[in-house]
Amino acid sequence: MAKFIFVTGGVVSSIGKGITTASLGRLLRNRGFTVAPVKLDPYINVDAGTMNPFQHGEVFVTEDGAETDLDLGHYERFMDVNCSGNSSVTTGKVYLSVIQAERRGDYLGATVQVIPHVTNEIKKRIVDLAKEQEADVVIAEIGGTVGDIESLPFLEAIRQMRTEFGLENTLYVHVTLVPQVGPWHEVKTKPTQHSVMQLREIGIAPDVLVCRTEVPLAQEVKEKISLFCGVPPEAVIESRNAATIYEVPLHYENDGLGEFVCKRLSLEATHNDLDEWKSIVKTLKSPQNQCRIAVVGKYTSNGDSYKSIAESLIHAGIPNDCSVDITWIESDTMESGRPPEEMLKGVDGLVVAPGFGERGIEGKIEAIRYAREIGLPFLGICYGLQMAVVEFARNMCGLTGANTEEVVANPPYPVIHLLPEQKGVAEKGATMRLGSWPCNLVNGTIAQKLYGSTRITERHRHRYEVNNDFREKLTEHGMVISGVSPDYRLVEMIEIPGHPFFVGTQAHPEFKSRPNRPHPLFQGLVKAALVHKRKALAAQPVEAI
């Protein structure tokens, strides 16, 4: 039977529950356990697919095509697992099931209530996930902050699970804040005490407290928290700000979290393999090289909107022994009339990010034109590929006014058009071409060489595609279609030979990159960016260097 760990957060939002959940998962994976993470999200949207990235951050897509919260990205990257769509449980999904069951008459005339019907549905989903994933441990993160009205049914469900599954099979981890206050920067434990009190009011006594702090937690502070909050001192875990998020599991390991959790849940580990993770963190903390990549996108003012792209670039630095600094550029600022050479000054590579709608697309196209013309390494992701095709059609094939039908109803040259299966789709939720799809790569192309294979799979999230009527025109003028769907119908990847690195993909490679397995396309981009940087430096007069 699986063990259940529940992660809650208190005092403030954005306290780092996601990274804590992911890091704890890493510690258990180091010990060889099968871990299934799950995010319990209080919002009423059925999934994150319909949410604005400005407010909610990135929509993370799983292999099986679920549109989920970005925390699943952290879980996958830290634990090196593929999450199931069932790893995302929202209030919307839970209520939808309950109401559908009620309409079918499954409740046999009972009055349908939050307790037990909604809480039963939540518990069922957690237990079903354990079975589906054959997990030794399920780690469930509860979204929001303790005290929020919306998360109460989830907290009640996990409270009940202690009674049902017993002390030896359940563990509550509470992430909390230990701030420093006043002119003497005194460390204060009161917010933690209050947060624990609030949890206890709803019947949950935490077993572990993960304390976010900017300074090391003195033993006496740990003992004070232990005394007031009723957890053993060794279960008061210091969570200091780390140089890189990937260092957090090592901090937790040092502070005894892995050992405490395993002992408490009687999880017998035969080994604890930390070497790979340590070497990743070592490179991330002291790289020999450095490069700068610009990411042009529509939602760059919220740092979380392109979380997986940012992390993929960081991962790609590891095999290149390189730190990757990112310059975020809001795509419509590229339309302000400032020349791209000014906006992209000092940049060694360019990513044009995924996106939807009209705003900023001319800015993306302008950035791509510049990268193509001056030989700046370029990776276009989803909308980024589509804009690269529009740019090439307009400026290389002479197709003036070429565009995507997503923004213009009847462009003179609709080089990007709706996928045939999307015609007539009216509902917005979960109706795009989603999840993992295969792609065949053409031998000898950059893509095929980077992947080291001619048959790959990548995750997708789109409604539009390259219009096959223009394939010939594009290739006649030098664009290479390097990847196609196995039925040859859909353009999956493009590139331009002779350019140092000009690659576009209809998929989202960022969802599959892991620190221990950086994605080949991002690796290729960073490698090309380093070459570009060296060449640019060599071309400068000595006094300018």
Comparing CA positions, the residue from 458, 464, 500, 502 lying closest to residue 480 is 502
Q: How far is CA 26 from CA 280, 340, 350, 354, in A?
A: 13, 42, 32, 29
Nearer to ligand GLN, 394 or 461 (CB): 461
Interface with ligand GLN (CB under 6 A), residue from 3, 74, 162, 462:
462
Q: For residues 490 and 419, what is the distance between their CA atoms, to the nearest angstrom?
A: 9
Question: Are 68 and 83 a contacting pair, CB within 8 Å?
Answer: yes
Q: For residues 37 and 246, what is the distance between their CA atoms, to the nearest angstrom?
A: 17
Report the DSSP beta bridge partners of residue 460.
Answer: 435
Comparing CA positions, the residue from 131, 217, 142, 216 lying closest to residue 174 is 142
CB atoms within 10 A of CB 169: 17
Residue 354 makes contact with ligand GLN by CB under 6 A: yes
Q: Which of 382, 391, 465, 492 is catalytic?
A: 382
Interface with ligand GLN (CB under 6 A), residue from 461, 473, 519, 527:
461
Q: Which of 74, 315, 460, 508 is catalytic?
A: 508
CB 386, min distance to ligand GLN, A: 6
Give the footprint of ligand GLN on residues 375-414 (CB under 6 A): 382-383, 386, 406
Span interacting with ligand GLN, options 5-13, 242-250, 328-336, 348-356, rule CB under 6 A: 348-356
As separate numbers, helices (DSSP H) first and strands (DSSP E) second, the chain gives 18, 23
Residue 356 makes contact with ligand GLN by CB under 6 A: yes
Verify whether residue 291 is a known catalytic residue. no
Contacts of 308 (CB under 8 A, 6+ apart): 58, 60, 70, 73, 508, 510, 511, 513
Nearer to ligand GLN, 319 or 357 (CB): 357
Could you give the maximum distance between any two Cα atoms of the chain, in Å? 84
Q: How far is CA 464 from CA 177, 182, 345, 420, in A?
A: 45, 55, 32, 9
CB 425, min distance to ligand GLN, A: 11
Contacts of 108 (CB under 8 A, 6+ apart): none
Interface with ligand GLN (CB under 6 A), residue from 42, 144, 349, 355:
355
Number of residues that bind ligand GLN (CB under 6 A): 11
Residue 463 makes contact with ligand GLN by CB under 6 A: yes
Residue 458 makes contact with ligand GLN by CB under 6 A: no
Verify whether residue 499 is a known catalytic residue. no
Span interacting with ligand GLN, options 254-262, 307-315, 349-357, 524-532, rule CB under 6 A: 349-357
Residue 515 makes contact with ligand GLN by CB under 6 A: no
Nearer to ligand GLN, 251 or 463 (CB): 463
CB atoms within 10 A of CB 333: 13
Span interacting with ligand GLN, options 102-110, 157-165, 251-259, 456-464, rule CB under 6 A: 456-464
DSSP string, 410-426: S-SSEEEEE-GGGTT--
Which x/- pattern over 276-315 shows residues binding ligand GLN (rule: CB under 6 A)? ----------------------------------------
The residues annotated with a catalytic role in the active site are 382, 508, 510
Rule CB under 6 A: which residues touch ligand GLN? 354-356, 382-383, 386, 406, 461-464
